[in-house]
Structure 1
């Protein structure tokens, strides 16, 4: 029997289960969708639904694999990747005490401001390796402690999404080094929890998961899940990594200077670093990586694909799964030459890099009577691309030379949007085969290396095949440079408006 591995990629809108061989080649996959629940600034997800969807997808997948390949496929290990910067509070039995607080959630804005009064931003960067916003895990924990003290008192462990799923599969509360560094309570020198940072924030370190290597075994699959999936009870489940480092691995961007961009609900860049470089502006520290010798600079645009999904829904063009994207691309392409200065600021849920402002909100600027849905959709795509350029410029200040950009995620399937991004960035974009599977492949790589089937992650560079390159068009890039300069002025122009509105709302 040939060794194969089962991996889960748990995203914001759905979960994908894959089976890969020891070279990382995809054998088969299955998907289940779900959604988020929003009320004002609260954004929650049902962890029980996420887990049941993952197991449903795995049952379907493994049933098909057994039917098509029989006993020739042996599942030698399981690994998980998932969306990062969420919060799941669980009790001693591992049961969630509340719905998962999403990375999109804004309830912790007040907690982030209160923390800044106790630990000023300049001190935060030294103490926590970042200046914290409502989207970070630590302010979410503070919100829980301050607003739901009875829940916090009953909490045994404070987990991110991947860690909560691994806990369900194994009964063990563990995180990897990249996941731990996302809490901003991580001691980079000792590669464990920084008790001084925990004390400064008022967080009980005993409520945090154990920190292990991504390639370590978290534990064997619990008997109930093993029986459901038809797997041996001693099937190892590996610690794995979150979606940022997993996508970096799956894209084949495994060398220093390699950059990947994930076009999903959020858009983010991951820049592989040979050393832990310091932000010249003292705002954002890099994350640890699956490879202990590497670091990854994470540059997020909070609503990328989510902005397009929102626009399609608002224009009555359908929900995910029912949108005619061929029509959408034609509408966007037909609107290219008469945008007439229309700009979109894509800050639907605050923004991270480079403004780091929870209160920022989206705006259309320059709407005219002649603008159509096609113009609106193009403005959204261009606005996300402009924000990407702004974030990338911020990242380049760290001093790591960018060698190439690999695009992954569902958003990389659209050629028009990809060309807009290449034109705005003035850089070529490489799209790999099966870009939507990169996160799951990266998760599987943790099990492949952990099991000893490969000595390290370097095999991923050759596994990822570039199927298309988008080269910037000089004339369009020149036009975008002028419009990008206008775009950068939007934040300063709009700042007094949404901050004043926010202050009035708090009175």
Structure 2
């Protein structure tokens, strides 16, 4: 490839589109925002047509402005969503967001038919209401007309690629996110589909991330001002894309994404099993590697909630410099205040969709700065708990690369570093990591790059945060108290069980 790649990064709150050169260098970018739709107490949806319109609008802006030849397109996007589409790729209803929890009943029903131990054996994971299969089952049971009419049930990236090309295709990592993926054949596991009640005919074709999914449909090409001969690559979702874009490309490399949610991605040379038989690994863009994905359900979303509840977003825009100062000034006066950040349930390591957030230890002297710092510390404590879960898999952790918008605040990043008791490297242009990682699939697929190794040097380290010894010791003691919160609050979340799981 002698020209440039156009890459889409379709997130939860907006889409970023970038143009990169053959070395992965960022040439230009554009962004469009959109929102979420809350449906009742547990439903969260997004308008796929609105997302695609925003993506194409941003892409056309870049094509007109960049004045370079685009010879390849790649897409990365948020994962663990479900959108039903017809044979032309048109959505038959809203996209069910990864934040949606309406699949809880379906997950509980599935557990009666396929107990957790059997799920782990067959699906390589125990699914919860936030996973794709329960979302599909909810759609089948609650929207039977839509389910029946759906030609395909796609995740977000796959829906965007189908809109661009007319082809329903997913990559190995995307397929493994369904938990219906056969790790040996690297295709759909028809027995798993049968056991869960998911029609495999409604799933996209599985291919490598570096393969060409198809070429631009004529009407899409006209809208973008590009040739219909432009190749669209299969690409990967945001977890493996961020792993690549952060430069964490070797086994043992860990990346952490500080976004709406927080998650770790740990690169592995083999699909190591969970000692607790709960959480399975994902496939990787690199066919020789796997990713252990560990999500903390609310990260940046918890801080955004606190800012909103404290009225610090009014009249707007949010003064993050002031927030950092409030947090900094509260460091030595927390007086044991703890925050459990389970605003929308929690994933690793409690796997409890019913868990809810709580402040413990509030006193009359606590003010906005203490509350904000407690939220930051609570997310970081949960991250430490998740990291300890990961270490039990037996994969050594070499380094931690941080990406995402949350890395822009130095105070929060230092708090995370002190609590994890490990150095943390923030990369230059951290909010572009997923888009660049997605573009890398096209660069490798086209032969412009032989493999993903070029990303290590490309992802320059902007700053290395190191633990403060005295602060880390204090946090270690407070972490021991934090670890007791879930068991203590469990009877509140599950009153009918009497506190017993």
Task: Indicate which of 462, 467, 480 corresponds to 2:462.
Answer: 467
Q: 1:36-89 CA distances to partner (integer Å, 9 max, x unpaired)?
A: 1113110011111111111111112222212xxxxxx21110000000000001
Partner of residue 28, structure 2: 28
List alignment gaps of at least 5 residues for structure 1: 67-72
Number of equivalences: 497
Aligned equivalent of 1:308? 303
Q: 2:184 aligns to what? A: 189
SS at match of 1:405: strand
| 2:429 pairs with one of 434, 439, 461 | 434
Separation of aligned partners in 2, 1:222 and 1:460: 31
Per-residue Cα deviation, 1:97-136 (whole angstroms, up to 9, x for no partner)? 1111000001000001001111111111001110110110
SS of aligned partner of 1:58: helix
Deviation of 1:274 after TM superposition, in Å, equals: 0.9
After TM superposition, list the pairs within 5 Å mapping 1:221-300 onto structure 2. 221-300=216-295
Q: In the TM superposition, what are the counterparts of 1:134-173 in structure 2 within 5 Å?
A: 134-173=129-168
Q: Is there any run of 5+ residues in structure 2 with no aligned partner, and where?
A: none
Q: Using the alignment, how far apart are the partners of 1:497 and 1:210 within structure 2?
A: 44
Distance 1:2 1:253 in 2: 26
- Structure 1 vs Structure 2 CA RMSD: 1.4
For residues 304 and 320 of structure 1, do their structure 2 counterparts lie closer, same or farther at Cα, with a shift above 3 Å needed?
farther
Question: How far apart, CA to CA, are the structure 1 residues paired with 2:496 and 2:447?
Answer: 56
* Counterpart secondary structure, 1:270: strand
Cα distance, 1:26 vs structure 2: 0.3
Superposition deviation, residue 92 in structure 1: 2.1
TM-score (norm 1): 0.96
In structure 1, the partner of 2:213 is: 218
State yes or no: 1:317 paired with 2:312.
yes
Q: Could you tell me how far apart the structure 1 residues matched to 2:371 and 2:64 are?
A: 44
For the pair 1:12 / 2:26, whether they are aligned, the reply is: no
- Residues 491 and 497, structure 2, Cα contact 8 Å, conserved in 1: no
Quote the offset at 1:317 in angstroms: 1.1
Residue 69 of structure 2 aligns to a residue whose secondary structure is strand
SS in structure 1 at match of 2:345: coil
CA distance in 1, matches of 2:215, 2:185: 27
Counterpart for residue 59 of structure 2: 58
1:41 aligns with 2:42: yes
Q: Give, in angstroms, the shift of residue 386 of structure 1.
A: 0.3
Whether 1:209 and 2:204 are equivalent positions in the alignment is yes
Q: Is the 8 Å Cα contact of residues 359 and 502 (structure 1) preserved in structure 2?
A: no
What secondary structure does 1:246 align onto?
helix
Contact preservation (8 Å) 1:312, 1:319: no
Using the TM superposition, give the Cα deviation of residue 93 of structure 1 relative to its aligned residue in structure 2, in angstroms. 2.5
- Conservation of the 8 A alpha-carbon contact between 1:167 and 1:173: yes
Partner deviation per Cα, 1:357-382 (whole Å, 9 max, x = no partner): 11111111111111111111101100
Q: Deviations over 1:424-464 (max 9, x none)?
A: 00000001110110000000000111111011111111111
Secondary structure of the corresponding residue to residue 253 of structure 1: coil
Relative distance call for 1:64 and 1:461 in structure 2 (3 A) is same
Equivalent position SS for 2:348: coil
CA distance in 1, matches of 2:191, 2:160: 28
Matches of 1:274 and 1:202, distance apart in 2:
32
How many Å separate the matches in 1 of 2:22 and 2:493? 51
Using the TM superposition, give the Cα deviation of residue 319 of structure 1 relative to its aligned residue in structure 2, in angstroms.
7.7
In the alignment, which residue of structure 2 is the partner of 1:355?
Answer: 350
Q: Distance in 2 between matches of 1:351 and 1:17?
A: 30
Q: 1-side partners of 2:31 and 2:497: how far apart?
A: 39
Alpha-carbon distance between aligned partners in 2 of 1:319 and 1:157, rounded to the nearest angstrom: 43
Contact 1:427 1:472 survives alignment (8 Å)? yes
Could you tell me which residue of structure 1 aligns to residue 118 of structure 2? 123
SS in structure 1 opposite 2:236? coil
Q: Distance in 2 between matches of 1:446 and 1:484?
A: 40
**Of 315, 336, 342, which residue of structure 1 is paired with 2:337?**
342
Give matches, 1:76-95, under 5 Å.
76-95=71-90
Counterparts of residues 384-463 of structure 1 (less than 5 Å): 384-463=379-458
Moved more, 55-64 or 452-461: 55-64
* CA distance in structure 2 between the partners assigned to 1:501 and 1:322 by the alignment: 44
Name the residue aligned to 2:103.
Answer: 108
Deviates more, 1:337-346 or 1:174-183: 337-346
| Rounded Cα–Cα distance in structure 2 between residues aligned with 1:204 and 1:180 | 14
Distance 2:213 2:241 in 1: 17
Cα distance, 1:319–1:61 mapped onto 2, change above 3 Å = farther
The TM-score, its normalising length taken from structure 2, stands at 0.98
State the 1:2 CA deviation.
4.7
Instruction: Judge conservation of contact 2:180–2:193 (CA < 8 Å) in 1.
Output: yes
Q: Is the 8 A contact 1:309 1:320 kept in 2?
A: no
When structure 1 is superposed on structure 2, of 176-185 and 449-458 the one drifting more is 449-458
